[in-house]
Amino acid sequence: MSNWFEQVYGLTVITPILGGRVTGAQHAAAIRAVLASQPNGARSPFARVPMTHFARWVVIDDIPTLDAPAREDHLASNYLLFAAEFDGPLDPYLDFLATAAPDMLTDIYSHCVAFPGVTDLREFGRYIKRCQVETTLLFGGYPNATVAQVLAALQAQRAFQTFAASAATQVPAARREAFDAMMRRLAEQAPTSPGGF
């Protein structure tokens, strides 16, 4: 069992939502409304946490039911699943997340049981770890590459792709000049923002 696959950490957190079966549905709906209002792409709060490869929230209303003869299971509360793959380790990531997106986290987790807030980073970290579930198996298609490395590689790939397409019809002198210009641009241009590629 491991939350790690090479340098990538897989965090799984399942947090009980307030209200049990009485008002839990209202809190779940409120969380969904907050999540639906969050921007995505380069404007996502996660873009400010640049080690995040992927992140998701799933509101769990109940366990999926199966046909008989399986027994029918029902949860006594709604739960919130947070799953993220990021460049580890865990503690700095949680600190970064709480610092970069305090309002979003507060709006979401204030509907969860025993949420301590994000002002005290240690308390917030302790809360998340209390609700963390150990990953049994984590698999990744490129587990040795950080988000920054992936974005830089994609930037280089796109630049070379564009260059190679036009280089095929250029005379050698123009091709050389265009190649040098492309490499200069690659060295000088700002890295692509997470969420923006």
Partner 1 sequence: MSNLNGKAYGFCAFTATRPPWRTLGTRFAFVLIGLASPRIVRRLLSWVSLVADQTRLVDLSFIHFARWVIIPRKNFRRLDSSQPKESLSYDYMLFSSNFNGDWAQYIDAFSAVVPGGMDLIWRWAERYPMAKPITPFLAYIRRCQLDTDYYYGAYPNASTTDIRSALALQPALMTFAQAAKSMDLDAFDRAYQRFVPTVQQYLATTGPAPWAVDPLEPILPGQRT
Q: Which of residues 3-22 bind partner 1 (CB under 8 A)?
A: 5, 8, 10, 12, 14-16, 20-21
102 touching partner 1, by CB under 8 A: no
Both structure tokens of 157:
């790939």
183 burial (CB, 10 Å; 0-12 / 13-18 / 19+) is middle
152 touching partner 1, by CB under 8 A: yes
Among 142, 166, 181, 189, binds partner 1 (CB under 8 A): 142
Spatial separation of the C-alpha atoms in residues 61 and 106, rounded to whole Å: 20
Q: Closer CB to partner 1, residue 73 or residue 103?
A: 73
90 touching partner 1, by CB under 8 A: no
129 touching partner 1, by CB under 8 A: no
Spatial separation of the C-alpha atoms in residues 60 and 65, rounded to whole Å: 13
154 touching partner 1, by CB under 8 A: yes
Among 97, 105, 128, 151, binds partner 1 (CB under 8 A): 151
Spatial separation of the C-alpha atoms in residues 185 and 156, rounded to whole Å: 10
* Selected range binding partner 1 among 39-47, 92-100, 118-126, rule: CB under 8 A: 39-47
183 touching partner 1, by CB under 8 A: yes
Spatial separation of the C-alpha atoms in residues 156 and 66, rounded to whole Å: 49
Residue 61 CA neighbour count, 13 Å, CB half: 7
* Selected range binding partner 1 among 2-10, 92-100, 117-125, rule: CB under 8 A: 2-10
Spatial separation of the C-alpha atoms in residues 163 and 167, rounded to whole Å: 6
Q: Closer CB to partner 1, residue 70 or residue 190?
A: 70
Main-chain dihedrals φ then ψ at residue 114, nearest 5 degrees: 65, 25
Binding-site size for partner 1 (CB under 8 A) equals 83
At its nearest, how many Å lie between partner 1 and the CB of residue 183? 5
